[in-house]
Amino acid sequence: MTLSRKPLKGMRELTPGEKRIEDYVIKRLREAGVAYGFEEYETPVLEPLELFLAKSGSELAVKQSYNFTDKGGRKLIMRPELTPSLARMVAASGELIYPVKWMSFPVCYRYERPQRGRVREFVQFNLDILGVSGLEAELEVFLVLRRIMSSLGASRGQYVIRYSSRKLASGILESCGITEEEMAQAYAVIDKKDKIKPDEWEELVRKTIKDERNADTIIKFASCSDPDVPWLSEAAGGSEAFDEIVRFSGMLKDAGILEAQFDASVVRGLDYYTGIVFEVMDTGGKNRRAICGGGRYDNLVGMFGGQKVTGVGFGLGLLTLDLFLETYDLMPEGISGKHPADIFLAVYSDGERAFAVNFAEKLRDVGISVEIDITGKNLSKQLKIADRKSIGYIVVIGPEEVVSGRITLRNMTSGIETECEVSEVSGILIDRNLCGEAN
């Protein structure tokens, strides 16, 4: 039997070059979180199925997840998202210093059809603030998102942070008599507004919501692009949810977050959202899937018993973010081919190997990354290996270098050679900023 060379459909498999790209993006995300004082945490990949049934809804927990019964008879799930695990962890942690500001890079799993921007195994960036009931938490989350996009080179015209209110949406829907059974259907059709053509969407609304008046209400509500739209002001003016969205819009303007835009069609698909909801989208429409989605969830932690803890946060998919960066050519040139080694030591023969190994260790001790030949191939082949790997500097260690203690340091990009004492190499590389000049 010949084994397949392909991974399971939709599962992660990254070459070193692809991993370097992912690491670059993760570094920027982590730096953005740290800039606001967020701490990193981890949760288990496997959780009880009931946790996600109670918190995320059966659509995600059953139909779109990897769930199974283990050898002990327990019904388990491979986490399809992180927020329920975070809520469980916070509820079990006892005394915490609030606000809790945590971030994580979980690998998540969803059993769905792989397509552009959607796979079955994926890395997310999750960032959450717990223990703050005011809109200041949402504002800080928006600031983090803007910093992330800015640090990756995205301009304001390339993306938008769309926001609305789940509380506002439910208030509008309830006021026009939509039943609890119809509520989930209403959210589902509203969520599809920007995923299909306008006339097709309107037809879908009328087909799903049988009552013509209710269908009209949904269409009018989902089409609101400003809290001050007369229809919305008349329908929801004076309500707590409407006042909150107006106040938040003012806070965003005061903070200069011009990338944010009210859009009533943003409702997000998870059952636990209770207030402001939001998502980051490509304004050019080249990437139709949300880069990031999140919102306020004030009832999650309290469902485990004990203290009720408010929360707001988001999950950002690295795959969708990568597609956005590729679309606008925002990936730094050559990042995938940038080898981690700063210098390659080519060894003439076994007689010089001990000297070369000791030299390499001294360089590593001061933070210089070194690849040394361990193949025993001739010098010509060693140099070809170093060149193909795009390693910035190369040194040949032969009998003469061992005896004299002097080497020739060659810059593989410029071709410039520098003759120096072995003891001077680390200082030269550090002064030249290592890979900054080499590559």
Does a structural domain hold residue 110?
Answer: yes
- What is the average per-residue pLDDT within 332-338? 86
Whether residue 182 is found in the same domain as residue 78: yes
Does a structural domain hold residue 334?
Answer: no
pTM: 0.89
The three-point CA angle 219-225-228 to 5° equals 105
User: 116 in the Ramachandran plot: left (φ > 0), alpha (ψ -120 to 50) or beta?
Assistant: beta
User: How would you classify the pairing of strands 417-421 and 393-397?
Assistant: unpaired
**Residue 152 near residue 28, CB atoms below 8 Å:** yes
The enclosing H or E element of 164 equals: strand 159-165
Residue-wise pLDDT for 386-413, tens only, equals 999 999 999 999 999 999 999 999 999 8
CA count, 13 A, side-chain hemisphere, 17: 9
Residue-wise pLDDT for 154-212, tens only, equals 998 999 999 999 999 989 888 877 777 778 888 888 988 888 899 999 999 999 888 88
Cβ atoms within 10 Å of 108's Cβ, excluding its own: 19
Helix (H/G/I), strand (E/B), else coil: 409: strand
Q: By residue range, what is the domain housing residue 155?
A: 16-327
Whether residue 49 is found in the same domain as residue 123: yes
CATH assignment of the domain containing 160? 3.30.930.10
Which pLDDT score is estimated for 117?
A: 86
Which pLDDT score is estimated for 433?
A: 61
Mean pLDDT of the chain: 91
Residue-wise pLDDT for 349-390, tens only, equals 999 999 999 999 999 999 999 999 999 999 999 999 999 999
Q: How many domains does the chain have?
A: 2
Whether residue 297 is found in the same domain as residue 373: no
Helix (H/G/I), strand (E/B), else coil: 75: strand
Concatenate the DSSP letters of all residues of 89-108 into one string. Answer: HHHHS-S--SSEEEEE--EE
The three-point CA angle 319-294-41 to 5° equals 75
Whether residue 128 is found in the same domain as residue 260: yes
Kindly give the residue spans of alpha helices, DSSP state H, lying in 127-279. 136-151, 166-175, 180-191, 198-208, 212-222, 230-236, 240-254
- What is the average per-residue pLDDT within 231-238? 88
